Amino acid sequence: MAMGSALARLGGYPFEVRYSSGTSERARVLADIAADAYAYFSRLFSGFKPNIAVIVASPADWESRQPYGLPFFNDDDGQIRPGIVVMPASRGDFWIAMGEDLRETSPEGYAKVLATYPDGAGHFDLQPFFDLVTIHELGHAFEVLGDRRMPTYWLGEIFANLCLHAFIAMKQPDSLSTLEVLPTVGAQSTHLEDWMRVRGFTTLEELEVHYTGGDDPMSPLNYVWFQYRWQRIAAAMFNADGEDGLVRFWDCFHANDRLNPGQVTATSLIPLLRTEVSETLSRAVQDW
């Protein structure tokens, strides 16, 4: 049975919305966020409207190799729509692990996390941040279903992060601190950097090999370490290029596969990114 097919429906949106029992309030919050971003991206991306479902799932209905709490987009065959954006209905142990990871590696930064994402009881609650990640996953829906097939995994992630940052900066600027504090703390933690370089995968080439699993998959927290840095790259790109940079990113990669993914390297992409997408992005890849 396809994920979400047995769940309740929530009408009134430009895409299908499904939700687990007892989560209708959370489903409406996330569907509202997605609907605003859906309209924004459709305007930017030549009126394209991907055929998707947004699924808000409790732990019992979560079907993914991703840990509960880490949102994802899926376009595998047999879904209830060509693409699904799957969001957690509640906090999960994975969020706690992220915060504890920063508490150990960046005590000063952890204090900023507590101040930005308080739970009212002296701890943190990352739900406001992950609510915004709905927009990142929606960016993947526009990328993949719009036949903008990025030649590397990491390029697709940076595109989705740029979608997220552009929407928040243009439409919900009051949420910029919610979006930026967590990845800024993570990206600036020298102890986390040192820990990853000893025990994790850190190069873009390693990501391509270990991101999807295989014999030696990277840990979810290792993946988050990449995301911290990619989100900061997206912020720098938007500050330098604005919405035009996002549109150029969208326009640069088309379904006709102008690049052979099997032969693409980070170094080989730098000239294309510099001339057709963003000098800021090409420099970040060069300096990675």
SS3 state of residue 87 = strand
Looking at residue 255, its pLDDT comes to 66
Q: What is the mean pLDDT of residues 218-232?
A: 93
63 Cβ contact partners less than 8 Å away, ≥ 6 residues apart: 3, 57
Instruction: Look at 287 and 91; give whichever has higher pLDDT.
Output: 287
Q: What are phi and psi of 73, to 5 degrees?
A: -115, 140
DSSP codes of every residue in 208-222: HHHTT-TTSPPPHHH
**50 pLDDT higher than 90:** yes
- Look at residue 152 and give its three-state secondary structure: coil
% of the chain at pLDDT higher than 70: 96
DSSP bridge pairs for 72? 86
Cα–Cα distance for residue pair 80/56, rounded to 1 Å: 14
Q: Which residue has the higher pLDDT, 7 or 103?
A: 7
**Tens digits of per-residue pLDDT, 13-40?**
999 999 999 999 999 999 999 999 999 9
